[in-house]
Amino acid sequence: MENFDITLLQNIAYIFAAILFITGIKMLGKEATAQKGNVISAVGMFIAIVVTAINIVNPFVVLGGILLGAFIGSVIAVKVKMTSIPEMVALFNGFGGLATFFIAWSEMSNTNDNLFQYLLVILTIYIGGVTFSGSLIAFGKLSERLKIGKGHMVTNSFISIFYLSLVSILAMLVLPMIGSLPLNFETIFYVYLALVMLGGVGFVLPIGGGDMPVVISLLNSLSGIAAAFAGLILVNNVLIVAGSLVGASGLILTIIMAKAMNRTIGNILFVGYAASATSSSSQQGEVKPINAEDAFLILENASSVLIVPGYGMAVAQAQHVVRELGELLEENGTDVKYGIHPVAGRMPGHMNVLLAEANVSYDLLAEPDDVNPMMDTVDVAIVIGANDVVNPSATEEPGSPIYGMPILEVANARTVFVLKRSMSSGFAGVQNPLFFKENTRMLFGDAKESISGLVSEFKD
């Protein structure tokens, strides 16, 4: 009877936790309520954990694990620099996936003759394991520790293992129907675990840095789905509800990112830009460089300026000087807006986070649909380390690999300043005709130094 009461209490608490998660995630979707939403969802998590911990088996293992995890997680969360957020989200995401991988592994011994339970365990191991190792690779790529990419020999071997791991799911599913196995089941199971882990590496390794916003959203979605599947295995509703919410939100972000690149998810994951690149017109011309002094003279007389940041701003950590420049322009009577492309940077909303860190008010940030119609009223568009998201080929050249991708049409502004380190092309490997346009001026050098140069011109 005592046991029954605890289970009942837990289930009632789980309902409350589920309500808090749903409310929390809804509030996360609006600027005014987002922070409160996150707290509400954290309260839901707290309730769910506490009521589950009432009847734990081994307090030392449980408390030890929670304390250790809480310590590591908190230290990372407090210390991480805002420019490193993409790789950190990938890392946390991978740890969630790893936890479900372990849950499913542990539940393997409880499947007995229940075929459906066995199927769930095999699938959850796969999703959780691929989420973990895939996220680790994404972490490596985002933090630029891992330089191996598409076409490398190592990558190709891992891609083969990825396909092998997909086949191995099927093999595992038919396994129980085979009477006598050549190896004992335990050995086969461990081989499967290893294949899953290596398969996740092969899944993410060939995907380029520019496609990371899609990959990171997809892995986010997968970690939620893995948790929901773990809920099916453990017959636990709160895992199913919370996991599904995460799975759905990750899926939506994945679709938004893919749309912003005008590509299908399949093309991003399995083909990549290089293969879809058919023609790249070698449109060349004269590039017109400009120095900070001349750029300042133009900016000083501008009545409206659009700042378009890209990954280059993140690399140069230039967000603070960019904000400073924006404020100086405003003091000078210039109307300043920031044009943010959804896939600028390495994760969804990357630029927004950096500018928020630098204290740029979020109502100054505008999306392509809002700024494009008024582009011809913009005196100066300042492109800071962005490339493909402002490439006019997307609207002008039907043969271009990025044709059809929604861009920020800065070429229609009266003058365009492009801040760039060199003339190399962007993540798509496509030449950018914007650099050769009549109204474009190139300000070569490190983005942070170039902007600082403009700022000091203003102060003089």
Span near other proteins by CB under 8 A; candidates 198-206, 221-229, 276-284, 406-414? 221-229
Per CB under 8 A, contacts with other proteins among 294-323 are none
Q: Of 335, 370, 376, 388, which residue is the catalytic one?
A: 388
Q: Please say which residue, 132 or 435, places its beta carbon nearer to other proteins.
A: 132
**Rounded to the nearest whole angstrom, what is the least distance from the CB of residue 286 to other proteins in the complex?**
36
**Rounded to the nearest whole angstrom, what is the least distance from the CB of residue 123 to other proteins in the complex?**
13
Which position among 1, 3, 4, 57 is part of the footprint of other proteins (CB under 8 A)?
Answer: 57
Give the residue carrying structure tokens 């499913």. Answer: 104
In three state form, how does the secondary structure of 5-39 look?
HHHHHHHHHHHHHHHHHHHHHHHCCCCCCHHHHHH
- Is-contact 381 443, C-beta < 8 A? no
What track of x and - describes contact with other proteins for positions 358 through 387 (by CB under 8 A)? -x-xxx-x-x--------------------
**Rounded to the nearest whole angstrom, what is the least distance from the CB of residue 410 to other proteins in the complex?**
18
Catalytic residue at 388? Answer: yes
Host H or E run for residue 420: strand 415-420
**Nearest Cα to Cα of residue 133 among 193, 189, 84, 73:** 193
Q: Please say which residue, 12 or 42, places its beta carbon nearer to other proteins.
A: 42
350 near other proteins, judged by CB under 8 A: yes
Span near other proteins by CB under 8 A; candidates 192-200, 226-234, 377-385, 449-457? 226-234
95 near other proteins, judged by CB under 8 A: yes
CA angle centred on 381, ends 325 and 390, rounded to 5°:
125
- Measured CA to CA, the distance from residue 318 to residue 325 in angstroms comes to 11
357 near other proteins, judged by CB under 8 A: yes
Per CB under 8 A, contacts with other proteins among 238-257 are 238-253, 256
Which position among 342, 401, 406, 426 is part of the footprint of other proteins (CB under 8 A)?
Answer: 342
Span near other proteins by CB under 8 A; candidates 107-115, 283-291, 304-312, 414-422? 107-115
**Nearest Cα to Cα of residue 439 among 375, 396, 394, 395:** 375
Span near other proteins by CB under 8 A; candidates 27-35, 307-315, 407-415, 421-429? 27-35
**Rounded to the nearest whole angstrom, what is the least distance from the CB of residue 424 to other proteins in the complex?**
27
**Rounded to the nearest whole angstrom, what is the least distance from the CB of residue 271 to other proteins in the complex?**
24
**Rounded to the nearest whole angstrom, what is the least distance from the CB of residue 221 to other proteins in the complex?**
9
Which position among 6, 9, 19, 106 is part of the footprint of other proteins (CB under 8 A)?
Answer: 106
Per CB under 8 A, contacts with other proteins among 320-339 are none
Helix 212-234 × helix 237-260 angle, to 10°: 160
Helix 185-204 × helix 153-174 angle, to 10°: 140
- Measured CA to CA, the distance from residue 302 to residue 296 in angstroms comes to 10
> Which positions ≥6 away from 62 have C-beta within 8 Å?
53, 56
The residues with which 336 forms a beta bridge, in sequence order, are: 305
9 near other proteins, judged by CB under 8 A: no
Which position among 8, 76, 154, 423 is part of the footprint of other proteins (CB under 8 A)?
Answer: 76
105 near other proteins, judged by CB under 8 A: yes
**Is 97 in a helix, a strand, or coil?**
helix
Per CB under 8 A, contacts with other proteins among 188-217 are 216-217
Q: Please say which residue, 228 or 410, places its beta carbon nearer to other proteins.
A: 228
**Is 54 in a helix, a strand, or coil?**
helix
Alpha-helix runs per DSSP H in 143-271: 153-174, 185-204, 212-234, 237-260, 265-266
Helix 153-174 × helix 115-142 angle, to 10°: 170
What track of x and - describes contact with other proteins for positions 109 through 148 (by CB under 8 A)? xx-----x--------------------------------
The dihedral region occupied by 297, where left means phi > 0, alpha psi between -120 and 50, and beta the remainder, is: alpha
User: Residues binding other proteins: what is the number (CB under 8 A)?
Assistant: 107
Residues involved in catalysis: 388
